Amino acid sequence: LIRDQPFAQLDRADAPWPRAEGRDTRAKGLTFRGYSLMSEQRRPIFDYQIGSTLRVADYAEPVAGALPSITRQLQIRGNGEVWYLAAAADSIIEEEGGYNIVGSMLRVSFPELEAKPMIRESGGRKELLIRLHVKDETILKQRYEWKL
């Protein structure tokens, strides 16, 4: 699984995803605003800003079940359009309501998502992208399941 910044404001669907270059690994167009701790479990909620119009609260919660999994919840507030990079890898396969990240034991899915994620080829890799139109508030949930 390739790690890149989670959000970008792209001009068009085929625009390249912003990548860190050289020693500068900072995200492009994102500003980290700190974190707080949630509930008695003291799980972190990360806060960042996308451009000048969108704010994100980002946190993960474990999910009970036979296989290990977590749900990442992204609460995006403001108004505007943004793209979410859900995964990037050599190969991503859509299967049974989710996406298998080939070469890893990871499967991702999006409970409650109305938009259809797209898989595209870019820069020698596959990218799983979701285009979000935010009006006041959008919540995106991404489930990560490990296939053991």
Tell me what pLDDT residue 24 has. 60
Residue 54: beta bridge partners? 50, 78
Return the structure tokens found at 59.
């946190």
Q: Taking 70 as the threshold, does the pLDDT of residue 89 lie above it?
A: yes
User: What number is the average pLDDT over the span 107-111?
Assistant: 95
For 54-69, what is each residue's pLDDT tens digit? 999 999 999 888 878 9
**Is the pTM for the entire model greater than 0.85?**
yes
Half-sphere exposure of 18 toward its Cβ, with a 13 Å CA cutoff? 17
- State the Cα–Cα distance between residues 48 and 21, nearest whole angstrom: 21
